[in-house]
Chains A and B, each alone.
Chain A
Amino acid sequence: MSEERETRLYMISPRSMLTPDQLVRMVHAFGDKALVKETCYGCLVEAPRSENLAILAKVREEYPNEVFSKIRAYRCSDPRRCRAQHGTRPGFAQLEEEWALLAKIQYGLDQVEKGAKYKPLDDKKRLDVNAFKKICEVQ
């Protein structure tokens, strides 16, 4: 199981000063068997699962809250999903949107590390009908 191919996508938070190039160099330094492909948002890393997990641990150690990762179903440059073959696939827009969210998640992770706790928020309630009536009357 641990030797099974795993392709992992690393994405750098927009709040980070890290560049894809720096990330790629770091990954190269740790992964002998890894195929690393630099992308505009970070990199793709293809390696046996055990090695990928070791790389992930190192990335977390070096850049704990500014690099995010998930697995990718397709191998690097798989023509079935390659942008050059057909144009962008639907998941591309999703990655773009999630990339923007990473800035907030990075901030969240930093604050939680500093001890921030979960505070249940009051659900937004609809305006009471009598209060609304009063507003209308004032107008």
Chain B
Amino acid sequence: MTIKIAQLSCGTEYSSVQYEIEKAARSVGATIVYPDVSAADIDKAVADFGFKPRSPQLKLMIARAEALASGRYEADAVFITTCFRCAEAALVRNELRRYIQEHTNLPVVTYSFTERLKASQLLTRMEALVTIVTRKELLARERQTGLTVGLDSGSSTTKAVVMENNKIIGKDWTPSGAVVIESATQVLNNALEQAGVTLDQIEAIGTTGYGRFTLGEHFKAKLVQEELTVNSKGAVWLANRQKGEATIIDIGGMDNKAITVRDGIPDNFTMGGICAGASGRFLQMTSNRLKIDITELGKLADKGDWRNAKMNSYCSVFGIQDLVTTLGEGKKFEDVACAACHSVAEQVYEQQLQEIDVRHPIIQVGGTSLISGLVTQIGEVLGEQPIVPPDSQYIGAVGGALLSSGFL
């Protein structure tokens, strides 16, 4: 079955990125389609929608969204994308995302591109769209059964979890090395030892994260799946929030994810960060500069006040400049640590959370959720303290173990 992803866009063909979008879709077994509309539909759809952009292509986007919402055109998922730095398009993009979600059950992803966009950057997003469409039943799975393993090969750390009958019986993590198989083998062996089982007893393995394909092949995994859907399953399982709505925030080592779920199934997500500034990487750089271990950063930050040392982590280069300047000014370490956490929280709010409608509760996961100062700052920026479930750094591995048990 080929999944039809409806593209609502402006500027892709003139930015040399249309080919990359289609390539990413093809590589996950999907095809890009444009909902058919006539000239008369466009005027009516724009009038009904109520936002009248000056750019005609944006009007066409609105008409195409209306064709999907009314059911006149059928597709399985929606990809809304416009040029980065175009204010008019950014307004339309976000409002159309909201409109599609209000009027359809289709999974949606939005993206603002530059001319440098490559298919690989879209791969995880496209794969997640396809997973949500094709694996609805698997994603609805709430209990882990049998004896399974989840491996999460992330950009910063590699994690392994062994689960048996809906319980974690072994787990380990390590910083990701140059060879993903080596890091994974190490954490897997430790987790197996802790669980008191051997690899040949394992009934199924699920892999996720950047190294998922390599690990999937090496360990003959039954499930090889992108981290957006896998992490969200792990998060709701760990937080025991399988029913109802939630927003999952995962500030990763290289990019951030914000995922909304309904009854444990993701329906909208954003992933990104213009650069590493707004991610865990910036906090690692801050720790290095302060000559403390990353595990101490959170407690230190909780003692400080970010207002005393303003910092902007929009870009990691400028962020480090701010860091150097504030330290040079003799600011207190705790204030600097707090400012770094606050800055990352602000960026997540300004970038990721503007592209989804936040649903409550907010569940914060991933390795960075162990940095208490960051969780505090996310709470301060959002006006609501996030839930951090136990073993929150193992979401990907838990999701992998949980979902792979669906293949038994």
| A contact set with B: CB distance below 8 Å | 86-90, 93-94, 96-97
Q: Is the CB of B39 within 8 A of A97?
A: yes
In the complex, whether B386 has a CB less than 8 A from a CB of chain A is: no
Contacts beyond the supplied A86-B32, A86-B34, A90-B60: 20 A-B pairs with Cβ under 8 Å: A86-B33, A87-B33, A87-B34, A87-B35, A87-B36, A87-B73, A88-B34, A88-B36, A88-B37, A89-B34, A90-B57, A93-B37, A93-B38, A93-B39, A93-B42, A93-B60, A94-B39, A96-B38, A96-B39, A97-B39
Q: What residues on B are CB-neighbors of A96 within 8 Å? A: 38-39
Q: What residues on B are CB-neighbors of A97 within 8 Å? A: 39
| Distance in angstroms between the alpha carbons of A137 and B33 in the assembled complex | 58
Q: What residues on B are CB-neighbors of A88 within 8 Å? A: 34, 36-37
Q: Looking at chain A's contact residues, is the secondary structure mostly helix, strand, loop, or mixed?
A: helix
CB distance from A18 to the nearest CB of B (A): 22
CB distance from A80 to the nearest CB of B (A): 10
Question: 5 tightest CB-CB pairs across the interface, nearest first?
Answer: A87-B34, A96-B39, A93-B39, A97-B39, A87-B36
Give a binary string over B12-56; 1 marks a CB under 8 Å from any A CB, 0 the rest: 000000000000000000001111111100100000000000000
CB distance from A88 to the nearest CB of B (A): 5
Q: Which residue of chain B lies nearest to A83 when distances are taken between CB atoms in the complex?
A: B36
Q: What residues on A are CB-neighbors of B32 within 8 Å? A: 86
Count contacts on B: residues with CB < 8 A to the other chain. 12
Q: What residues on B are CB-neighbors of A86 within 8 Å? A: 32-34
| B contact set with A: CB distance below 8 Å | 32-39, 42, 57, 60, 73
Number of A-B contacts (CB under 8 A): 23
Q: What residues on A are CB-neighbors of B35 within 8 Å? A: 87
CB distance from A96 to the nearest CB of B (A): 4
CB distance from A42 to the nearest CB of B (A): 17
Q: What residues on A are CB-neighbors of B73 within 8 Å? A: 87
Q: Which residue of chain B lies nearest to A88 when distances are taken between CB atoms in the complex?
A: B36
CB distance from B10 to the nearest CB of A (A): 9
| Distance in angstroms between the alpha carbons of A87 and B7 in the assembled complex | 11
CB distance from B45 to the nearest CB of A (A): 11
CB distance from B61 to the nearest CB of A (A): 10
| Distance in angstroms between the alpha carbons of A42 and B38 in the assembled complex | 18
Ordered by A's residue number, 21 sampled pairs between the chains whose C-beta atoms are within 8 Å are A86-B32, A86-B33, A86-B34, A87-B33, A87-B34, A87-B35, A87-B36, A87-B73, A88-B36, A88-B37, A89-B34, A90-B57, A90-B60, A93-B37, A93-B38, A93-B39, A93-B60, A94-B39, A96-B38, A96-B39, A97-B39
Chain A CB within 10 A, most for which of B32, B34, B42, B57: B34
Q: Which residue of chain B lies nearest to A95 when distances are taken between CB atoms in the complex?
A: B39
| Distance in angstroms between the alpha carbons of A90 and B34 in the assembled complex | 9
CB distance from B322 to the nearest CB of A (A): 43
| Distance in angstroms between the alpha carbons of A87 and B6 in the assembled complex | 10
| Distance in angstroms between the alpha carbons of A87 and B42 in the assembled complex | 15
| Distance in angstroms between the alpha carbons of A14 and B367 in the assembled complex | 66
CB distance from B41 to the nearest CB of A (A): 9
Q: What residues on B are CB-neighbors of A90 within 8 Å? A: 57, 60
Q: Which residue of chain A lies nearest to B41 when distances are taken between CB atoms in the complex?
A: A93
CB distance from B23 to the nearest CB of A (A): 14
CB distance from B92 to the nearest CB of A (A): 15
| Distance in angstroms between the alpha carbons of A97 and B43 in the assembled complex | 11
Chain A CB within 10 A, most for which of B38, B39, B57: B39
| Distance in angstroms between the alpha carbons of A94 and B33 in the assembled complex | 19
CB distance from B90 to the nearest CB of A (A): 20
| Distance in angstroms between the alpha carbons of A86 and B60 in the assembled complex | 15
Q: What residues on A are CB-neighbors of B60 within 8 Å? A: 90, 93
| Distance in angstroms between the alpha carbons of A50 and B34 in the assembled complex | 36
Q: Which residue of chain A lies nearest to B18 when distances are taken between CB atoms in the complex?
A: A80
Q: Which residue of chain B lies nearest to A93 when distances are taken between CB atoms in the complex?
A: B39
| Distance in angstroms between the alpha carbons of A93 and B73 in the assembled complex | 17
| Distance in angstroms between the alpha carbons of A94 and B42 in the assembled complex | 11
CB distance from B75 to the nearest CB of A (A): 10
Q: What residues on A are CB-neighbors of B34 within 8 Å? A: 86-89
| Distance in angstroms between the alpha carbons of A86 and B25 in the assembled complex | 13
Q: Which residue of chain A lies nearest to B32 when distances are taken between CB atoms in the complex?
A: A86
| Distance in angstroms between the alpha carbons of A130 and B240 in the assembled complex | 72
Q: What residues on B are CB-neighbors of A94 within 8 Å? A: 39
